[in-house]
A and B are shown apart, each in its own frame.
Chain A
């Protein structure tokens, strides 16, 4: 076959009907990463895309249920990695987007400054407080809407009251000095006219918050520096935390980040032997390739750990370009979640799926 001519897929000698020819199957299930740019990046979603060759491209619910798989790779208190296999990028991406911006957390939103003579100005201090992850389960609390009164079901009150004595060395204020007030705010809206007069505070708790939270609340990390106080300086404030989502402000985002990558696949198109194989192994910074001893003094390159491939495409540079193909599996996602909130990552993911479920239900009920 001379260069430039091509054969139609249907004229190829062994194209069985009901099965896609190899090059189309690759296009359907893989993203191929060429030296300069990836190709076939957009997935083919339409169910009838291959109807002409008698192939059904749909992924109905029962097929999805049969093929979908999750493998947990790593799971710690704050981080998890798992493989999600057999799902479309549209839905995997929905989970990622929801994790970052729509799973609720409790975060400090209002700060009542009583005294602040620290070098950090009020608004910066308030912002720093907002970014501190609190150890409070958001599922136990309710959202506070505009006209709601702050109560034990929608507001958590923390107090910070520290001062540095005159003549003592500088003092570092850490996050564990935020003290939880289970009975609500202790600040009065109006100053009492005589000592001991009962004035309305900024919250109206009907009882101890312990009944809602079932355990003492605090901060997730006890060693976050809030401010440094010099001799004679004081911070006295009350911080009110409410439930919110990352879409409104990133401080409510429950994850440090959540991301996925598609499973890399490295294919050796030709056998690479001897010196060339050694060169290839040395070229790869993440050690994807290895040498296999063929016995009779011959060695050839093999793909050892394709999962490690970062797609730097170093192996495609120079002569080896035609020998290697880098691909990514379109429906295999390596999902990583780093939790930065009270909830562990596996609970966050379940919450995210629940959010998408609720979105569907909401629209269904709107339509009927």
Chain B
């Protein structure tokens, strides 16, 4: 859910249900990397409620688009972590199995 104004798209608060620090803090980090963002932050209004509010204020662009870009960026980072991790694990397993073979000989 988005709370913003109709006339000014550049600042909005996004209320996400079923999310917590896990996503909000990561998104805040990515938003902070974006030069279009003039302010961003998040809060969890009550620890027993399972929603989080993310505030995005930009220098002019639509806050919604900027948040979307941030989420895409974060998804891209995840993808890259997965690929890198896969490569490292495969590499490690390969060296380990050659080491074991040497022991067997």
Nearest-neighbor residue (CB-CB) of B36 within chain A = A47
Complex Cα gap A88–B88 (Å): 19
- Chain A hits for B67, CB < 8 A: 367
Chain A nearest CB, measured from B24 CB (Å): 9
1/0 per position for A37-67, CB-CB distance to B under 8 A? 0000000011110000000001111001100
Q: Which residue from A45, A60, A361 sits with its C-beta under 8 Å from B75?
A: A361
The reply to whether A69 and B84 contact each other, CB–CB distance below 8 Å, is yes
Is B8's beta carbon under 8 Å from chain A? no
1/0 per position for A74-107, CB-CB distance to B under 8 A? 0100000010100110110111011000100000
Which range holds the interface residue count of chain A?
35 or more
Complex Cα gap A366–B87 (Å): 33
The reply to whether B75 and A354 contact each other, CB–CB distance below 8 Å, is no
Is B74's beta carbon under 8 Å from chain A? yes
Chain A nearest CB, measured from B35 CB (Å): 6
Is A70's beta carbon under 8 Å from chain B? yes
Is A123's beta carbon under 8 Å from chain B? no
Interface of A is mostly: helix
Is A109's beta carbon under 8 Å from chain B? no
Chain B nearest CB, measured from A244 CB (Å): 15
- Chain B hits for A90, CB < 8 A: 25-26, 28-29
Per the CB 8 Å criterion, the residue count for chain B at the interface is 40
The reply to whether B23 and A367 contact each other, CB–CB distance below 8 Å, is no
A149-157, A302-310, A345-353: which one contacts chain B?
A: A345-353
1/0 per position for B30-61, CB-CB distance to A under 8 A? 00111100000000000000000000000000
Is B79's beta carbon under 8 Å from chain A? yes
The reply to whether B81 and A94 contact each other, CB–CB distance below 8 Å, is no
- Chain B hits for A102, CB < 8 A: 22
Nearest-neighbor residue (CB-CB) of A366 within chain B = B16
Complex Cα gap A87–B88 (Å): 16
Is A72's beta carbon under 8 Å from chain B? yes
Complex Cα gap A317–B79 (Å): 45
The reply to whether A94 and B26 contact each other, CB–CB distance below 8 Å, is yes
Q: Across chains A and B, which 10 residue pairs bring their CB atoms closest together, nearest first?
A: A72-B92, A90-B29, A45-B32, A360-B75, A357-B78, A70-B88, A360-B71, A94-B26, A90-B25, A97-B22
Binding site for A on B (CB under 8 A): 2, 14, 16, 19, 21-23, 25-26, 28-29, 32-35, 64, 67-68, 71-82, 84-89, 91-93, 96
- Given contacts A58-B35, A357-B75, could you give 13 more A-B pairs where the C-beta distance is less than 8 Å? A45-B29, A45-B32, A70-B88, A75-B92, A87-B77, A91-B81, A97-B21, A349-B85, A356-B78, A360-B71, A361-B75, A364-B68, A367-B14
13 A-B residue pairings within 8 Å (CB atoms): A59-B33, A60-B33, A64-B80, A75-B96, A87-B81, A90-B25, A94-B25, A97-B21, A97-B22, A356-B74, A357-B75, A360-B71, A360-B72
